[in-house]
Structure 1
């Protein structure tokens, strides 16, 4: 099960953190992978690691808020691999911090561009490609538990992570009969290199709220990527898959 031999996956932000964990899971199941990431040095390190695992992997410098860079990365991916079967729209960011009513309009728009429009722009050429091929495909976005629970001081992040869930459901209906499945992954607090400067009090609080008694690890993210990219997920679409160790259901 979950054999991805011959498949090609695009992973945006695949050069570190959750994206690299998704890449590891995909490569372990035989998928070829194209990383789209802004930092060329990080891209090279990620490619080296995944190739050492036996993966057929390449990377393209790409800022997913820039449509021209997306077009170039997509063209390069097709030239390298000939097709795309799945796309993990993982790149994004925390957006602004602070009270929403004190935040300027442009700052809100920048966060929307980073976490919502980047997904739309990334998926658009890949969706067209899948429809033209008449091939089944998988579109996956990294949302967050913050999209379904309250998170003080992070209204922009929570709003955009909730917005992509609406996009997932709409596209699942639009594309379902064409064989394209669309789903979201909602991680809880995951220990990554980006979270090293997270206040200890926040980490401790997340751990206490987790029903399993610990925070997430990157290896916890590998299996869901392989599942959602595989034929075994054929009957799942329009769903928000929560991976948070029970954080979001733990009673106060």
Structure 2
């Protein structure tokens, strides 16, 4: 039902964490995958791991905060694979930890550039390709449960993650008649190298709020990525799919 043979997926920030987890799920379903990342060493490690799974994959070094780099890397991706069927705009970061009034202008700009503007610029590279091919397409952004919850000391992160859900709804309407779906994944606390750097108090609170009393795992990202890339999700668009084990509904 979810066979992705002859499907090409692009995953930004695909060299680690949630992005690599989604790439693994896509490879398992038969997709060819292009991963973009800034760190060349992480790119090579991720590429080796995906190739060990038998995937037709390629890693591209790309800084998604640079629109010219995005354009050039997308051209290289098309040259390698010939097309792109789904785009997972996953690259992002938590930004500076501080109260809003303590954030410098550069702190604020950097998190907006990474979590919001990079998504816009990536989509601006991909959408014309989708429209030209006239075969539809899938736009998927990694938002966060922080878009729904109040997250102290991370106003920039929460704001940008909420913003991409608005972008998702706008693009769903704008592009729907072209057969293009746009959706957002809102993960709760999932164990990654980056999430382990958060405070123990925050980690404990997330575990309490989880209905199962457990954290999410990277493997939890695989299935939702495959579903949203597949033709079986063609009637789902403009949606924010919360993947949090109930953390946003549990009072803790």
The answer, yes or no, to whether TM exceeds 0.5 is: yes
> Are 1:34 and 2:34 matched, yes or no?
yes
How many angstroms apart in 2 are the aligned matches of 1:201 and 1:109? 28
Output one character per residue of 1:71-94: Cα deviation in whole Å (capped at 9) or x when no partner.
Answer: 111011111110000000000110
Partner of 1:16: 16
Aligned positions of 1:104-143 closer than 5 A: 104-143=104-143
**Helix, strand or coil: the match of 2:163?**
helix
Partner of 2:236: 236
Partner of 1:217: 217
Equivalenced residue count is 252
Q: After TM superposition, give the deviation of residue 125 of structure 1 in Å.
A: 1.3
Output one character per residue of 1:22-50: Cα deviation in whole Å (capped at 9) or x when no partner.
Answer: 00110000000000100111111111111
Aligned positions of 1:167-182 closer than 5 A: 167-182=167-182
How many angstroms apart in 2 are the aligned matches of 1:239 and 1:197? 29
Partner of 2:185: 185
How many angstroms apart in 2 are the aligned matches of 1:195 and 1:207? 13
**Over aligned residue pairs, what C-alpha RMSD do you find?**
0.9
**Helix, strand or coil: the match of 1:191?**
coil
Aligned positions of 1:135-154 closer than 5 A: 135-154=135-154
Q: After TM superposition, give the deviation of residue 152 of structure 1 in Å.
A: 0.6
**Helix, strand or coil: the match of 2:208?**
helix
The answer for unaligned runs of 5 or more in structure 2 is none
Q: After TM superposition, give the deviation of residue 203 of structure 1 in Å.
A: 1.4
**Helix, strand or coil: the match of 2:248?**
helix
TM-score (norm 1): 0.98
How many angstroms apart in 1 are the aligned matches of 2:81 and 2:23? 16
The answer for unaligned runs of 5 or more in structure 1 is none
Q: After TM superposition, give the deviation of residue 58 of structure 1 in Å.
A: 0.2
TM-score (norm 2): 0.98
Structure 1 segments (4+ residues) deviating >4 Å: none
Partner of 1:84: 84
Q: After TM superposition, give the deviation of residue 101 of structure 1 in Å.
A: 1.8
**Helix, strand or coil: the match of 2:34?**
strand
